[in-house]
Structure 1
Amino acid sequence: MPTDGMPLTSTPHPAHRDANVLRWLTAYALSLIGDAACLVALGFAAQEVAGPAQVGMVMAAGAVPRALLMLGGGVVADRFGPGKVVVGSDAVRCAIVLGIAAALWLTSPGLWLLVVGAVLFGVVDALFMPAVGALPPQLAALDQIGRIQGLRMLVIRISWIVGPPLGGLAMAYGGAAAALGAAGLLFALSVPLLMALRLRPLPADDQSGAVAPSAWGELVDGLRYIRRHRVIGPLMVSGAMSELGTNGLLTVGLVLLTKDQGWGPSGYGWIVGAFGLGQAVCAALLAVKGRVARAGLVQNVMLVVGSASVGALAFMPTLSAAVGMSLLSGLLCGMCGGLAIALIQTSAAPGYLGRVTSAMSLTGVGLTPLSFPLFGAAISAWGAQPVFVIGAAFSTLGAVAGLSSAAVRRAELPRLPGRKHTGQPAAGPAQTPSRAS
């Protein structure tokens, strides 16, 4: 598969044994755990000074600027380099969180401080997320991107298991100030790890050489690049439709479904836990295996079956059957998600990595939560089963969009020459790594 000029240089170790990749993963995990702890702390801090409506306002305050500015964050990452942006934004996030923690510790501030802090955190997060997600092609050779994405998915699952309990424990012993202080400490620990990364310089490419001088021009140029790319464009559409079709079912839909079925909160926990376990197992398999033959075709076929299995959750007669179906859904969706990201990143031209990554993040972070009220209203009006069918069908249409592209059906993850012949061009000279900062 063409890689638009990305070098296929070799690395001495596979990604799961590469110290550089493991530093990035550790920093990423610390950041994700800090994010989760922050969310818990802000919610409980708002509860102490205001009512339920204000709690929701505080917890949503950071999501709005993050969604609005996410694409702009990709432009910044491409213009200044993701290494510099990720270090700077992570340091600022640390300062913001520790500042809020100090204010809560020293005084009894009002709701306004929590809202302002959440908004500022969301603004900086819009810079951090595209930059940290765009780093993998600079950490290792392209044939390791599949492994890196598997490791990344595994870290995400682990972080969301560890983060909320950590935030709750800190809240129990020291209140919101202690929880935010713990989150700030995690961010502080991630900064030197990010600074220690040795990044391969991205080669200049013809497509990004004529970038418009304005930030708006770069943003439009990036969106045009995504739309016209034969692999990235269809996979972006496929991924967006899948996120919009299934995420609401797996959040709001499952809450209402388990209530209607009489399975209660514990049933919800078992179903969601099984889905997360499936994703974690698939992430581990992808991290070890690293490459799947005919990845583009496999990714979309798994998306079809995975979408159907999510829709089938509403028709399970018992809790045990729903847990088993959820486990299957997690396995399928986990694999197709990791393959999609790996295919997109190995297909993207170097000068567009930040903007491509920000566009991938936008759907899950910005657009998907907006659909949750719609799913809730639809299930209240029509019941769970029709809405689960509609959501799964919409997600399946995304897979159809992917499969309709011959370039996607033929897309492969790179394999370096010398390991097994795949028809890829010979690898160029090794790039000299540089510090992230």
Structure 2
Amino acid sequence: MTATVLPTAPTAHRPAHRDPNVLRWLAAYASSMVGDSVYYLALSWAAVRAGSPAQAGAVMSASALPRAVLMLFGGVVADRLGPRRVVIGSDAVRCAAVLAVAALLFLTSPGLWPLALLALVFGTVDAVFMPAVGALPARVTTHDQLARVQGMRGLAIRLSYVVGAPLGGLGVAVGGAAGAFGLAGLLIAVSVPLLISVRVRDLPTEGRAAVPTPWQDLRAGLTHVRRHRVLAPLMWAIALGDLGFVGPLNVGLTLLADRRGWGAAGLGWVLAGFGVGAGCAALLLTVRGRLPRAGLVTGCTALAGAVAIGALAFVPGLVGAVGVALLVGLFAGLSGALCQALLQTHADPACLGRVTAVSGLVSLGLAPLTMPLSAAAADAFGLGPVYVVSAAVCGLGGVVALVAPGLRRAELPR
């Protein structure tokens, strides 16, 4: 599926949260993310019902490999074809795949193979979808509104977490796995006409001759990142932050709740505290639109978030843990959103898909690998040392942001 790029730029001097064009994009993004949440719940439910726990785990992780292997070339595709065209095509493919599996489950009981195939399709499509999603905000608004758009995007992500799980549970309760997959497909489908109606602007570097081969295109993008005074340290800061964050805030929290006797309800409260903090950070950027000295604030909030992550393992009571998790969400959410805003405003627009793919490769491809390592280390050494090491890794990301002059002095456009 293709989409025509309109030359008309987004409305000038209009805040992003009042721009109908941005709001259409945000509605499409939110609908797609809620559909993703419903899809993952339906996939987990169907896999557990159709096979053993080990088989279900294999199905759930089947999308990780193609996503990690193909992510960088997904950035090349997004830059060559345009991010909106790629997102529309990706959502159309994902919708068709989910609805096909829903129909198959409704008519027969085919076992695990269609679920594994669906997960592989999602992983492959995600490899091009995610870089394009990251590159699209720069096409629908002006540079001075990108921080606000990142805040709005953060609020949409929080909404998808809050709404998606109950909707998925309702879909399973009413129509089983087939019903939940059907609901996920419909939610993803809603994003397609909304995206078609979104106006995107031509970038200043569009129209240049493309690099002859995808490999050379990829190398050009990686060289752009490596030689850039802001992007090079920013990628290290993002990578270290994600590598230290994923383990403690996923498997680590589950183990912590189990060993402290908080149970599933206590775990839910801690996660809710994190979600509230991240939502507050997103709301702050949405309202303010810009924070001065963005590079310096990124480093300071990353360090503060690292301290809060380390403190989680040493807070004895549930109420204290919820409060600390709120601080983790606030600081990590703010530093993460500022990182993405700096990435989008300092990258060459022609390379934005590839730049987004580099950051996404660490966040979505490498960082999840730390979860089994964190669990094994917790069994061997205890949760305290694991949280301290993870906090140190996150803190190194903040240190990189503060000691690299280009990143520390980086500003967001006015």
State which drifts further: 380-389 or 196-205: 196-205
- Indicate the residue corresponding to 1:335 in structure 2: 334
CA contact (8 A) 1:211 1:221 kept: no
- Indicate the residue corresponding to 1:352 in structure 2: 351
- Indicate the residue corresponding to 2:149 in structure 1: 148
The separation in 2 between residues aligned to 1:211 and 1:297, in whole angstroms, is 36
The separation in 2 between residues aligned to 1:83 and 1:61, in whole angstroms, is 26
- Indicate the residue corresponding to 1:243 in structure 2: 242
CA contact (8 A) 1:66 1:122 kept: yes
Partner secondary structure for residue 123 of structure 1:
helix
- Indicate the residue corresponding to 1:134 in structure 2: 135
CA contact (8 A) 1:93 1:125 kept: no
- Indicate the residue corresponding to 1:95 in structure 2: 96
Q: Deviation of residue 340 (structure 1)?
A: 0.8
Q: Deviations over 1:94-120 (max 9, x none)?
A: 111111111111222121111111101
Q: Is 2:203 aligned against 1:193? A: no
Partner secondary structure for residue 315 of structure 1:
coil
State which drifts further: 62-71 or 302-311: 62-71
Q: Which amino acid aligns with 2:79?
A: D
Q: Unmatched 5+ residue regions in structure 2?
A: 1-8
Q: Deviation of residue 10 (structure 1)?
A: 6.7
Partner secondary structure for residue 291 of structure 1:
coil
Partner secondary structure for residue 292 of structure 2:
coil
Q: Deviation of residue 14 (structure 1)?
A: 0.4
TM, length-normalised to structure 1: 0.90
Q: Deviation of residue 334 (structure 1)?
A: 1.0
What percentage of residue pairs aligned between the two structures are identical? 54
Q: What is the aligned length?
A: 407
The separation in 1 between residues aligned to 2:114 and 2:328, in whole angstroms, is 41
Residues 7-406 of structure 1: pairs in structure 2 closer than 5 A: 11-204=12-205, 209=208, 212-406=211-405
The separation in 2 between residues aligned to 1:394 and 1:62, in whole angstroms, is 27
Partner secondary structure for residue 303 of structure 1:
helix
- Indicate the residue corresponding to 2:6 in structure 1: none
Q: Deviations over 1:37-95 (max 9, x none)?
A: 11111111122221111111111112221222111111000011112111111111111
The separation in 2 between residues aligned to 1:332 and 1:113, in whole angstroms, is 41
Q: Which amino acid aligns with 1:229?
A: H
The separation in 1 between residues aligned to 2:45 and 2:327, in whole angstroms, is 35
Q: Deviations over 1:204-239 (max 9, x none)?
A: 17xx95753111221122112111111111111101
Q: Deviations over 1:26-47 (max 9, x none)?
A: 1111111111111111111122
Partner secondary structure for residue 198 of structure 1:
coil
The separation in 2 between residues aligned to 1:99 and 1:151, in whole angstroms, is 32
Deviation >3 Å, runs of 4+ = 208-212
Q: Deviations over 1:170-226 (max 9, x none)?
A: 011111111111111011111000111100111117xx9575311122112211211
The separation in 2 between residues aligned to 1:43 and 1:254, in whole angstroms, is 20
**Superposition CA RMSD, Å:** 1.6
The separation in 2 between residues aligned to 1:317 and 1:202, in whole angstroms, is 52
Q: Which amino acid aligns with 1:117?
A: L
Q: Deviation of residue 166 (structure 1)?
A: 0.9
The separation in 1 between residues aligned to 2:386 and 2:233, in whole angstroms, is 25
The separation in 1 between residues aligned to 2:326 and 2:122, in whole angstroms, is 34
CA contact (8 A) 2:10 2:140 kept: no
The separation in 1 between residues aligned to 2:209 and 2:297, in whole angstroms, is 35
Q: Unmatched 5+ residue regions in structure 1?
A: 1-7, 416-437
The separation in 1 between residues aligned to 2:57 and 2:194, in whole angstroms, is 33
Q: Which amino acid aligns with 1:95?
A: A
The separation in 2 between residues aligned to 1:302 and 1:45, in whole angstroms, is 40
Q: Deviations over 1:148-168 (max 9, x none)?
A: 000001110110111122111
Partner secondary structure for residue 230 of structure 1:
coil
The separation in 1 between residues aligned to 2:245 and 2:129, in whole angstroms, is 26
The separation in 1 between residues aligned to 2:178 and 2:268, in whole angstroms, is 29
- Indicate the residue corresponding to 1:429 in structure 2: none
The separation in 2 between residues aligned to 1:134 and 1:11, in whole angstroms, is 20
TM, length-normalised to structure 2: 0.95
Partner secondary structure for residue 246 of structure 2:
helix
Q: Which amino acid aligns with 1:54?
A: Q
Q: Deviation of residue 12 (structure 1)?
A: 3.7
Partner secondary structure for residue 292 of structure 1:
coil
- Indicate the residue corresponding to 2:4 in structure 1: none
The separation in 2 between residues aligned to 1:210 and 1:308, in whole angstroms, is 47
The separation in 2 between residues aligned to 1:356 and 1:44, in whole angstroms, is 35
The separation in 1 between residues aligned to 2:46 and 2:324, in whole angstroms, is 37
Q: Deviation of residue 398 (structure 1)?
A: 1.4
The separation in 2 between residues aligned to 1:159 and 1:388, in whole angstroms, is 28
CA contact (8 A) 2:273 2:326 kept: yes
The separation in 2 between residues aligned to 1:29 and 1:154, in whole angstroms, is 9
The separation in 1 between residues aligned to 2:77 and 2:211, in whole angstroms, is 13
